[in-house]
Amino acid sequence: RLEDTGNPLYSHLLRWNNSNHIKKHFSDNVKASVDGYDPLASLAAGLPGDFERWSPLAKAQWLETTVFMSGYLLSSQGDRMGMANSIEGRYPFLDYRVIEFCSTLPDKLKLNGMNEKFLLKKLMQGKIPESIVKRPKQPYRAPISSVFVGKGRPEYIPEMLSERQTRQAGVFSYNSVSALLGKIGNTGTASEMDNMVITSIISTHLLYNQFIENNNPEFQNAPLKNLKVIQDHE
């Protein structure tokens, strides 16, 4: 809720509440297993001791860096993807000296009203075209529906969204999968959230197919570990 400003996770609640939409597509068994579990409460319990004394922007930056950047964006959309294709990415704005310097800046130089990257834009004026400096922020989104459900889709997609695969994996309800496919393929009324759910289903079934259903020996023989999406950093 917009008025829930006292929540320590306030800056990210809208994003996480939107992601919560996927739970309605879970199978009955998965719904039962997560019933009563509150991941946001678990995250809030692990916040730094002086978190409440930080500015709203500092809180948002900590959450973004800890939850998304190192554990997801850089690994899943950066280093891991690049290294898998023999490409070593270079991220000049993530140089530790840049990060250390920016950490000392006052909030007004990081975000000036709704003007993001305020100091960087000031720095680059006269060095790059003004159209770039003043260019509105644009999300980078892949064309999910047309790639996975439309013509020319990869050969493995029908099987990954089939009733057999869905019931075998047991994570999602096939009725939901079928309804989503109909919504995307027939009516053209699929929302961005629907596209995200379809991507999650395909990704989950690919992982299940490769590592569990096909009894990958390297995976089966590996020692069990308590894997965490959010890593603890000193």
3-state secondary structure of 233: coil
Q: Which residues make Cβ contacts (< 8 Å) with residue 194, sequence separation at least 6?
A: 180, 183, 184
Q: How many residues are recorded in the chain? A: 234
Query: 189 in a domain, yes or no?
Result: yes
In which domain, by residue range, is 199 found? 141-214
What span, in angstroms and rounded, lies between the C-alpha atoms of 33 and 29? 6
Query: 163 in a domain, yes or no?
Result: yes
- Give 102-117 as a 3 state SS string: HHCCCHHHHEECCEEC
Average pLDDT, the chain: 84
Query: 187 in a domain, yes or no?
Result: yes
| Backbone CA torsion sign across 189, 193, 199, 201 | negative
pLDDT digits (tens, 9 = 90+) for 2-37: 778 888 999 999 888 888 889 999 999 999 998 888
Interstrand relation of 115-116 and 111-112 (parallel, antiparallel or unpaired): antiparallel
Report residue 96 as tokens: 């530790």
The pTM (predicted TM-score) of the whole model is: 0.75
Report residue 13 as tokens: 């609640």
Is the pLDDT assigned to residue 70 strictly greater than 60? yes
Judge whether 60 and 11 are in contact, CB under 8 Å. Answer: yes
φ, ψ of residue 54 to 5 degrees: the values are: -75, 160
- Cα-to-chain-centroid distance, residue 120: 25
Instruction: Categorize the per-residue pLDDT at 144 as very low, low, confident or very high, splitting at 50, 70 and 90.
Output: confident
Query: 33 in a domain, yes or no?
Result: no
Query: 145 in a domain, yes or no?
Result: yes
What span, in angstroms and rounded, lies between the C-alpha atoms of 106 and 195? 38
Average pLDDT over residues 131-141: 83
Number of domains in the chain: 1
